[in-house]
């Protein structure tokens, strides 16, 4: 990290366990960032902290160091207990096995949870603590088995975490530290009820250490902190001290027809850069991706319904430089630590001024410099005054030169291959067929992939995370067969055999005190 991003406070100036200091040294962390220097003395003293800091400022290391220090300084009594039987059913009424979670870290997105887990492995490599990671979209049984085997620190998204808790894979009674990262994003994604559900099943706030971090300490975030934390101390790191000074911000006043030519022209100028293009909707993102691919620019589309396995593959390719451009919706604006992003292009200005800050925070990370370019178009020009008021500065307007506008063939757009509606069946037919299909064919029935009962809570929460049980296809993934086709077990073009052709009439109930009406 460049020295401009750090303070004069050293990690070894705190009374930290030598094993943590060894991990920090291996990670290359010697001096603290501002948020680390402010929050570590408070958390290490056992006081709750509510911190405001932008992404990329080192808050992950701050709460990981504080949590690990507490675990190493106060070993659990259960570590002296014998191991439980491997196939024993966990019981929430008593401590089973030596390792029930003592630290819970909640993140709003899968990418952020994966990043926190990666940092925890690095910092805690010498600490001997067992880490667990749970998130929706993939690895359901594998994650369940790892948690059932016992963990010290459990990192995850709310939906999958609550699912395993309701199945009694683990319990919250041993929790000593609870951490909420990107708390304001929890509200935006509709996870606040899940967060309250989790916090109310933990020991009282006076018996645990609480740490909350958010890009903004809004009224609702502050209310959450005071409701579920023990007199937290507020720590605010001004955004302009960390981000704005290192991001060069400019904008173009463009018509809707000029956006694609300008985007392609700019990307061709930044041929050596790593570029993230933000759009407001998935549909517009697919359109932008299609024009980029159709004009010889390798790009990927990242949205909330891309399956987790494919998301990780795309992110890995982008981080490795194999894909120079990533088109993303705001679902990717938080929690992604991608080093070396040189340019952020707001193809659509965000409706929320806070999202603008999070978008441009994808560049200029860890003390580096970056450029943020915004298109002020006919549809979203009204968002510019709110953004400028929020950041407290005017965004310079650059003139559009003819040499920048690329020549675009309207027919050059690559389109996604989708089956016609008549082949997919009428809207809702797949769901109806799934309910009536055999259990081994469509997977329906109580307890199945589409059934009710124990898995219902998991499905509802994971849909909020954009990761339904079966996962949604990515922008270039072929559509799968409908439940009607699966149930029929034959050609999708052929109707299911034995399907009723007429709707059965319901028998009318006899009137009270009289006879049923005659059939005539």
Q: What is the pLDDT of residues 287-339, one digit of tens each?
A: 999 999 999 999 988 876 777 778 778 888 888 888 899 998 876 555 566 77
At 392, the pLDDT band (50, 70, 90 cuts) reads: confident
Q: Which of 89-98, 134-143, 191-200 has the lowest mean pLDDT?
A: 89-98
Lookup: tokens for 23: 């991990």
- pLDDT score of 491: 44
3-state SS, 352-402, equals: CHHHHHHHHCCCCCCCCCEEEEEEECCCCHHHHHHHHHHHCCCCCEECCCC
- pLDDT score of 511: 61
**What percent of the chain is modeled with pLDDT above 70?**
70
92: pLDDT strictly greater than 70: no
Q: CATH number of the domain at 243-412, out of 3.40.190.10, 3.40.50.300, 3.30.1330.30, 3.90.1150.170?
A: 3.40.50.300
User: Average pLDDT, whole number, for the chain?
Assistant: 78
Please name the residues in contact with 267: beta carbons below 8 A apart, sequence gap of 6 or more: 275, 292, 297, 324, 325, 345
What 3-state class would DSSP assign to 235?
strand
460: pLDDT strictly greater than 50: no
Q: What is the pLDDT of residues 258-294, one digit of tens each?
A: 999 999 999 999 878 889 999 999 899 999 999 999 9
Lookup: tokens for 270: 């930044």
Please spell the DSSP secondary structure of 137-178, one letter per residue: TS-HHHHHHHHHT--SEEEE-HHHHHHHHHTTS--STT--EE
- pLDDT score of 365: 65
Strand pairing report for 325-328 and 397-398: unpaired
At 504, the pLDDT band (50, 70, 90 cuts) reads: low
Q: What is the pLDDT of residues 346-385, one digit of tens each?
A: 999 999 887 888 788 788 665 577 899 999 999 999 999 9
- pLDDT score of 432: 43
d(C-alpha 368, C-alpha 247), whole Å: 9
- pLDDT score of 470: 39
User: Where in the sequence of the chain do the CATH 3.40.50.300 domains occur?
Assistant: 3-78+90-239, 243-412
Lookup: tokens for 236: 């605010």
At 430, the pLDDT band (50, 70, 90 cuts) reads: very low
Please name the residues in contact with 481: beta carbons below 8 A apart, sequence gap of 6 or more: 492
Instruction: Give Cα 311 to chain centroid, integer Å.
Output: 11
- On whether the CB atoms of residues 284 and 404 are closer than 8 A, the answer is no
Please spell the DSSP secondary structure of 241-297, one letter per residue: HHTGGGEEEEEEE--GGGHHHHHHHHHHHTTTS-EEEE-SSHHHHHHHHHHHHHTT-
- On whether the CB atoms of residues 131 and 120 are closer than 8 A, the answer is yes
- On whether the CB atoms of residues 273 and 343 are closer than 8 A, the answer is yes
What is the arithmetic mean of pLDDT over 62-86?
A: 74
What 3-state class would DSSP assign to 514?
coil
In this structure, the number of other CB atoms found within 10 A of the CB of residue 407 comes to 9
What 3-state class would DSSP assign to 106?
strand
Q: Looking at the structure, give the CATH architecture of the domain made up of residues 3-78+90-239.
A: 3-Layer(aba) Sandwich (3.40)
């Amino acid at each position: 990290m460049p020295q401009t991003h750090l303070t004069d406070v050293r990690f070894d100036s705190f009374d930290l366990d030598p094993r943590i200091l060894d991990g920090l040294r291996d990670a290359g962390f010697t001096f603290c960032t501002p948020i680390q220097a402010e929050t570590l003395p408070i958390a290490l003293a056992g006081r709750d902290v509510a911190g405001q800091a932008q992404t990329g400022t080192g808050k992950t290391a701050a709460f990981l160091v504080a949590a690990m220090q507490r675990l190493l300084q106060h070993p659990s009594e259960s570590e002296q207990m014998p191991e439980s039987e491997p196939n024993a059913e966990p019981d929430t009424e008593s401590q089973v096995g030596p390792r029930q979670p003592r630290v819970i870290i909640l993140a709003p997105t899968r990418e952020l949870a994966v990043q926190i887990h990666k940092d925890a492995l690095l910092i805690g490599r010498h600490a001997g603590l067992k880490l667990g990671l749970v998130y929706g979209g993939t690895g359901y049984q594998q994650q369940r088995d790892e948690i059932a085997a016992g963990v010290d620190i459990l990192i995850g998204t709310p939906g999958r975490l609550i699912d395993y808790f309701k199945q009694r894979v683990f319990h919250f009674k041993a929790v000593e530290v609870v951490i909420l990262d990107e708390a304001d994003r929890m509200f935006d994604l509709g996870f606040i009820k899940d967060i309250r559900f989790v916090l109310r099943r933990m020991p009282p706030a006076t018996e645990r250490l609480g740490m909350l971090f958010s890009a903004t300490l809004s009224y609702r975030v502050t209310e959450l902190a005071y409701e579920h934390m023990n007199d937290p101390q507020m720590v605010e790191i001004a955004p302009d001290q960390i981000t704005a000074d290192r991001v060069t911000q400019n904008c173009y006043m463009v018509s809707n027809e000029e956006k694609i030519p300008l985007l392609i022209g700019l990307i061709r100028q930044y041929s050596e850069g790593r570029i993230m293009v933000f759009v407001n909707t998935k549909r517009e993102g697919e359109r932008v991706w299609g024009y980029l691919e159709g004009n010889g620019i390798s790009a990927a589309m990242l949205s909330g319904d891309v399956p987790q396995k494919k998301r990780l593959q795309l992110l890995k390719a982008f981080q490795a430089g194999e894909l120079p451009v990533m088109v993303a919706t705001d679902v990717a604006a938080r929690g992604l630590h991608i080093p070396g992003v040189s340019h952020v292009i707001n193809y659509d200005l965000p409706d929320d001024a806070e999202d603008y800050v999070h978008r441009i925070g994808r560049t200029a990370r860890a003390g580096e410099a970056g450029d943020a370019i915004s298109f002020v178009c006919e549809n979203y020009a009204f968002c510019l005054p709110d953004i400028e008021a929020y950041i407290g500065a005017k965004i310079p307007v650059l003139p559009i030169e003819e040499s920048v506008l690329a020549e675009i063939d309207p027919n050059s757009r690559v389109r996604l291959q989708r089956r016609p509606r008549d082949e997919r069946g009428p809207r809702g037919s797949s769901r109806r067929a799934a309910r009536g299909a055999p259990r081994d064919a469509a997977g329906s029935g109580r307890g199945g992939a589409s059934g009710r009962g124990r898995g219902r809570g998991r499905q509802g929460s994971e849909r909020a995370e954009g990761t339904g049980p079966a996962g949604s296809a990515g922008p270039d993934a072929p559509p799968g067969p409908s439940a009607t086709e699966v149930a029929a077990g034959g050609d999708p073009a052929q109707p299911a055999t034995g399907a009723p052709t007429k709707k059965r009439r319901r028998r009318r109930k006899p009137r009270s005190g009289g006879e049923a009406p005659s059939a005539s």
